[in-house]
């Protein structure tokens, strides 16, 4: 089994990030290792890994099957249940001693604890009833006398374990529960939690936090580990973390406890870890979130394959909305933040006219006018795509490429209701767009990449845009507000995603604003540094998020 799992591994040893390498050395599972869906009590029907590997998890490492007595592996007091040989669930009563004093608490090593990775037993690869050894950081299943955690406590002399689901701490092999407030900081790192009052004060907090290694970090401004070519996910997550209503919604799990989607809950966990002020380290590995993304997108977005953050953002927001809404007609926090509305006027030439033109036949003006069909419709949007002017074909006299520049207002004219946009799919038509409702958070996408049958071409045109006070009503016509309502059309930039390098070889980074001090930071995976607002506007902007002024 070991050789098969190595061959199916998503990542090579050399290509793993530093955090993930350390976890493989600690004996944890590879990213592709995952349990069968039926074994996860929290997320029914959810499986991280490949379907053809599901059978492997029914076996122990030595190749023998579990013997049917799950009591040694499924021994949570909250469930307090096990199964007989016929598969029927039976109750059992077992009192566990609770002690406030434990002679082994001084062996707990917080330096090796890392809860960012999948909660799998490092021996059985099961995610059922997993405990973390607080001495070495490895994960083991069960607490009974035949379990892997019990065996590890005897072989290694490590005695303090925390249940990764119930957060209860036990001493093995003695089996008693430890009730000591000195372990609360570990529980907060395992499962960060926020009160509503804390959430409301986040954007006013200017205080730095200190990690165990002595380094300082800003909650909400922590780096994200690039597992392997996952920078397109990292910049998207960092951008969404600046959307205050969305962040506040996901910081409190009670807001989405009705939802059974693993993607929603993993995103909530990642949000709480990014904004947690008591982390043991100054960065976060979005590993469990990436596994949920791979499963939900059916490997359209996956570790080891570079993708487009615009495509990922579009898929992610639509998926979150469909999972969060209670009924088909109900809204969600996604639509409340990002949904606007467009009026689309489509001019379609009749099929007869197009065929005559293709055959080279003459058409008089009167007949041509009567063969144009007009269609007007309203459609919602979460993102507006802006077309860049084509770059010059020739070099200047200095034999250098001319990098053109264009003001943002010029390319926003696409949505003034008069500018015509030619489209050829699904059929040839002339389109006019007009914004009829502005969202609270406006996402703009500059179309830098064009694909043809041979290669992908990148448009290097620089877009000149304001960092503050983007007034849309001066450049595009907006609907008249209702009585006693004020037209709010002024926006401030809060996130700017940039692409550097060649189309197929480049990488992504993002500029984000910290609201408490109105400072700008440049973030690229684990690298986080303060920067000037003027530097934000000098980059090849690819996707931006603007916040409407209140």
User: Is 475 part of any domain?
Assistant: no
Out of 172, 189, 206, a domain closes at 189
pLDDT at 13: 43
Out of 189, 212, 238, a domain closes at 189
Rounded to the nearest 10 degrees, the angle between the axes of helix 309-324 and helix 262-274 is 110
pLDDT at 543: 93
**Is 360 within 8 Å of 462 (Cβ atoms)?**
no
User: Is 272 part of any domain?
Assistant: yes
| 228 DSSP assignment | S
Residues 43, 46, 52, 53: is their CA dihedral positive or negative?
negative
Instruction: Write out the two tokens for 548.
Output: 């409407």
Q: Is the same domain home to 282 and 315?
A: yes
User: Is 148 part of any domain?
Assistant: yes
**Is 311 within 8 Å of 232 (Cβ atoms)?**
no
Q: Is the same domain home to 231 and 254?
A: yes
Q: Pick from 110, 108, 127: which is nearest to 49 by CA? A: 127
Lowest-confidence region among 72-86, 101-115, 340-354: 72-86
**pLDDT, mean of residues 168-179:** 90
pLDDT at 29: 40
**Is 35 within 8 Å of 124 (Cβ atoms)?**
no
Reduced to 3 states (helix: H, G, I; strand: E, B; else coil), residue 386 is strand
Does position 89 have pLDDT exceeding 50, yes or no? no
Q: Is the same domain home to 154 and 199?
A: no
Rounded to the nearest 10 degrees, the angle between the axes of helix 244-251 and helix 262-274 is 100
% of the chain beyond a pLDDT of 90: 27
**E strand or H helix that includes residue 541:** strand 541-548
pLDDT at 249: 93
H/E/C letters for each residue in 490-519? EEEEEEEEEEECCCCCCEEEEEEEECCCCE
Cα 37 to Cα 35: distance, rounded to the nearest angstrom: 6
Q: Confidence class of residue 505 from pLDDT cuts 50, 70 and 90?
A: confident
Burial class of residue 141, CB neighbours in 10 A (0-12, 13-18, 19+): buried
Q: Is the same domain home to 252 and 133?
A: no
Does position 335 have pLDDT exceeding 80, yes or no? yes
pLDDT at 398: 57
Q: Is the same domain home to 114 and 185?
A: yes
Give the count of domains, the chain: 2
pLDDT at 357: 55
**pLDDT, mean of residues 490-518:** 88
Q: Is the same domain home to 170 and 110?
A: yes
Does position 313 have pLDDT exceeding 90, yes or no? yes
CATH number at 240 reads: 3.90.70.10
Q: Confidence class of residue 494 from pLDDT cuts 50, 70 and 90?
A: very high
Does position 477 have pLDDT exceeding 50, yes or no? yes
pLDDT tens, position by position, 34-75 = 344 333 334 433 443 444 333 333 333 333 334 334 456 665
Cα 524 to Cα 534: distance, rounded to the nearest angstrom: 18
User: Is 197 part of any domain?
Assistant: yes
Q: Confidence class of residue 78 from pLDDT cuts 50, 70 and 90?
A: very low
User: Is 70 part of any domain?
Assistant: no
Q: Pick from 549, 524, 534: which is nearest to 238 by CA? A: 524
Cα 216 to Cα 218: distance, rounded to the nearest angstrom: 7
Instruction: Write out the two tokens for 397.
Output: 């006299």
C-alpha neighbours within 13 Å on the C-beta side of residue 78: 7
Q: Is the same domain home to 215 and 184?
A: no
Contacts of 308 (CB under 8 A, 6+ apart): 232, 449
| pLDDT higher at 35 or 434 | 434
Does position 3 have pLDDT exceeding 70, yes or no? no
Does position 197 have pLDDT exceeding 70, yes or no? yes
DSSP per-residue string spanning 298-358: TTSS-TTS---HHHHHHHHHHHHHHHH-SSTT---HHHHHH-EEEEEEEEEE-HHHHHHHH
Residues 414, 420, 424, 425: is their CA dihedral positive or negative?
positive
Give, in order, the Cα–Cα distances in Å from 219 to each of 127, 143, 214, 274: 30, 35, 15, 6
**Is 438 within 8 Å of 478 (Cβ atoms)?**
yes
% of the chain beyond a pLDDT of 70: 77
Helices and strands (DSSP H and E) totals, the chain: 15, 28
**pLDDT, mean of residues 437-444:** 92
Q: Is the same domain home to 224 and 308?
A: yes
**Is 158 within 8 Å of 135 (Cβ atoms)?**
yes
Which residues span the domain enclosing 314? 192-324
Q: Is the same domain home to 177 and 237?
A: no
Does position 507 have pLDDT exceeding 70, yes or no? yes
| pLDDT higher at 241 or 11 | 241
Does position 5 have pLDDT exceeding 90, yes or no? no
Out of 324, 347, 365, a domain closes at 324
Q: Is the same domain home to 298 and 265?
A: yes
| C-alpha triplet 546, 509, 270: angle, nearest 5° | 80
User: Is 268 part of any domain?
Assistant: yes
Q: Pick from 368, 545, 531: which is nearest to 439 by CA? A: 545
Which of the given ranges, 237-251, 276-290, 533-547, has the highest pLDDT on average?
237-251
Give, in order, the Cα–Cα distances in Å from 121 to each of 27, 60, 129: 9, 11, 9
User: Is 306 part of any domain?
Assistant: yes
| pLDDT higher at 456 or 397 | 456
Lowest-confidence region among 165-169, 363-367, 376-380: 363-367
Q: Is the same domain home to 177 and 199?
A: no
pLDDT at 250: 93
CATH number at 168 reads: 3.30.40.10
**Residue tagged 């509305």 (tokens):** 341
Q: Is the same domain home to 115 and 197?
A: no
**pLDDT, mean of residues 104-112:** 90
| pLDDT higher at 332 or 92 | 332
Does position 431 have pLDDT exceeding 80, yes or no? yes
User: Is 2 part of any domain?
Assistant: no
Reported pTM: 0.77
Cα 479 to Cα 435: distance, rounded to the nearest angstrom: 8
pLDDT at 550: 82
pLDDT at 351: 61
Mean pLDDT of the chain: 78
pLDDT at 28: 42
**pLDDT, mean of residues 435-461:** 87
pLDDT at 160: 93
pLDDT at 88: 46
Q: Pick from 112, 121, 122, 104: which is nearest to 171 by CA? A: 104
pLDDT at 46: 40
pLDDT at 227: 86
């Amino acid at each position: 089994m070991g050789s098969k799992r190595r061959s199916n591994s998503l990542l090579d040893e050399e290509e793993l990030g530093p955090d993930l390498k350390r976890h493989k050395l600690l004996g944890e599972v590879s990213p592709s290792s995952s349990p069968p869906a039926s074994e996860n009590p929290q997320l029914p029907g959810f499986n991280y890994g490949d379907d053809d590997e599901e059978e492997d998890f029914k076996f122990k490492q030595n190749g023998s099957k579990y013997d049917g007595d799950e009591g040694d592996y499924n021994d949570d007091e909250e469930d307090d249940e096990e199964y007989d040989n016929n598969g029927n669930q039976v109750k059992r009563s077992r009192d566990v001693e609770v002690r406030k004093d434990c002679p082994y608490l001084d062996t707990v090593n917080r330096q090796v604890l890392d809860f960012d990775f999948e909660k799998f037993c490092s021996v059985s690869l099961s995610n059922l009833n997993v405990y973390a050894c607080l001495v070495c950081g490895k994960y083991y299943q069960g607490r009974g006398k035949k379990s892997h955690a019990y065996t590890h406590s005897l072989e290694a002399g490590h005695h303090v374990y925390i249940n990764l689901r119930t957060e209860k701490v036990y001493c093995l092999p003695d089996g008693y529960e430890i009730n000591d407030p000195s372990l609360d900081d570990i529980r907060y790192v395992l499962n960060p939690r926020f009160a509503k009052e804390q959430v409301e004060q986040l954007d006013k907090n200017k205080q730095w936090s200190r990690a165990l290694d002595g380094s300082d970090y800003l909650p909400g401004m922590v780096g994200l580990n690039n597992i392997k070519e996952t920078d397109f996910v990292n910049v998207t997550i960092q951008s969404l973390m600046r959307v205050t209503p969305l962040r506040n919604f996901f910081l409190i799990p009670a807001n989405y406890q009705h939802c059974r989607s693993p993607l929603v809950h993993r995103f909530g966990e990642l949000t709480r870890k990014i904004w947690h002020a008591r982390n043991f380290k100054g960065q976060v590995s979005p590993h469990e979130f990436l596994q949920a993304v791979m499963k939900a997108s059916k490997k359209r977005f996956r570790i080891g394959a570079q993708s487009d953050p615009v495509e990922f953002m579009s898929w992610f927001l639509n998926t979150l909305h469909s999972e969060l809404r209670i009924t088909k007609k109900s809204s969600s926090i996604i639509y409340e933040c990002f949904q606007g509305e467009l009026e689309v006027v489509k001019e379609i030439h009749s099929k007869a006219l197009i065929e005559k033109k293709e055959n080279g036949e003459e058409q008089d003006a009167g007949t041509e006018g009567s063969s144009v069909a007009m269609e007007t419709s309203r459609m919602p949007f979460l993102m507006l795509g802006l077309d860049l002017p084509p770059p010059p074909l020739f070099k200047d006299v200095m034999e250098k490429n001319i990098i053109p520049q264009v003001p943002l207002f010029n390319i926003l004219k696409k949505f003034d209701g008069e500018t015509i946009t030619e489209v050829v799919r699904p059929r040839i038509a002339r389109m006019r767009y007009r914004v009829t409702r502005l969202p609270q958070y406006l996402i703009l996408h500059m179309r830098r990449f064009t694909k043809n049958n041979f290669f992908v071409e990148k448009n290097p045109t620089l877009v000149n845009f304001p960092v503050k006070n983007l007034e849309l009503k001066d450049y595009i016509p907006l609907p008249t507000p209702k009585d006693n309502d004020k037209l709010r059309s002024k926006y401030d930039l809060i996130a700017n995603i940039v692409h550097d390098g060649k189309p197929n070889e480049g990488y992504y980074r993002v500029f984000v604003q910290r609201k408490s001090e109105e400072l700008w930071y440049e973030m690229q995976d684990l690298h986080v540094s303060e920067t000037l607002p003027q530097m934000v506007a000098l980059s090849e902007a690819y996707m931006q998020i603007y916040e409407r002024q209140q």
